[in-house]
Amino acid sequence: MNKAELIDKIAGDAEITKAAATRAIESLVDGIASSLKKGERTTLVGFGTFVMNERAARTGRNPQTGATINIPAKKVVKFRAGKELEEIING
C-alpha cells in the first residue's frame, strides 16, 4: 500500500474528504519525525514504537573495485511492532 492508497482508505473508513485524510497523514508523519529528531521515541500503543539509533562508523568494501572505504556514522530509525500488530500479522 502506498501513501495515496492509504489516504483513500482512511478517507473512506472515516467518511472524511481525501484532503482531510492527507492532512492527517502528513501531521502524523511530521509528528513522528519531529519526535525522533529531538531524540524521543514515539509509541503508538498496539501498533509499534519508532526509535532513533546511532550506527557507528565502520569500514566496508567497494563491490566493484574491492577497495576499502570508510562508512561514516549516521542516525537510523528503527521500528518495533507492537503486540497487537504482531498478532494480526502472525494470525
Task: Report the predicted TM-score, pTM, of the whole model to 2 decimal places.
Answer: 0.77
The answer on 27 and 67 residing in a single domain is no
Q: With b meaning 16 or more CB within 10 Å and e meaning fewer, what string describes 37-57? A: eeeeebeeeeebebbbeeeee
The answer on 46 and 23 residing in a single domain is no
The answer on 45 and 35 residing in a single domain is no
Rounded to whole angstroms, the Cα distance separating 16 from 21 reads 7
52-82 per-position pLDDT tens digit: 999 999 999 999 999 999 999 999 999 999 9
Strand, coil or helix: 29? helix
Helices marked H in the chain — which ranges?
A: 3-14, 18-37, 83-90
Domain span holding position 29:
1-39
